[in-house]
Amino acid sequence: MKLIILGIFVSAFSFTFTFSMSSTLAGSACEKKTGDIAIESCTKFITTKTYLGKPISNHNLSVMYENRGLQYFKKEQYDQALSDFESALRANPKNVKASNNLGSVYLRIKKYDLAIASLNQALKLAPDYALALSNRGVAYRNKGQLDKALEDFNAALISDPRSDYDYLQRAEIHKRMKNYRKAIADYNTSLELRPNVSTTYYNRGISHYLLGQHQDAYNDFSKALELDPTSKDAANNKKAILKIIEKSKK
């Protein structure tokens, strides 16, 4: 039985979205609801360009496009989501959240250069925007540009030092760069901020294994399996590392 040393990523954490609110449109279904109800409400405002009989400003029109785009994204209708985020930026080129969200869609469809371009635009407007830094870090990581990815996650954590997600992502960068002790330190911090995450224990266990810390690896794979009994990888690695430990005692 071979030990699996590839990390596990949870798809929900592969991108970071932001949702916009407008005080003028507060209470509308476009902002308060989700799914088709929100899409229908946003479409009505976008089509008529009015709200309660009054014209919608470009700022608020941008918010409507952005919020509808988010609903399309959740429905995995990526072309519509891209179109809406682009429309949001045409209505208000300074909509930082729309630039971030556009980059997030490009991340999901694996168009990393386009994602980076959108996120660069967001960061020109808001250099310390942690979500955009984090998303760009993911794009650089997926392109294999680990040094740039590490720079972005370092900057994201300066802006938001309590982001368990960014510690987890930076740990994966350290692991790929074979800085296993740094990876373990970041996994530790991620678990302090967000305890009982099976995949974090699993990924930390891999770093322990690669350092030859077999008992610590076994403990982490065991905890990962306890938290997620359906994890075949954790079950496999727990058995594999136990054989290594038992063999070393003979």
* Whole-angstrom distance, CA of residue 27 vs CA of residue 13: 29
Q: Which domains does the chain have, with CATH numbers?
A: 25-93 (1.25.40.10)
At 33-70, the pLDDT tens digits run: 889 999 999 999 999 998 888 898 999 899 999 999 99
Task: Find tokens 């905890």 and name the residue.
Answer: 223
Helix pair 164-176, 146-159: axis angle to 10 deg = 160
Residue type, position 89, single letter: L
At 116-168, the pLDDT tens digits run: 999 999 999 999 999 999 999 999 999 999 999 999 999 999 999 999 999 99
Q: With a threshold of 0.85, does the pTM exceed it?
A: yes
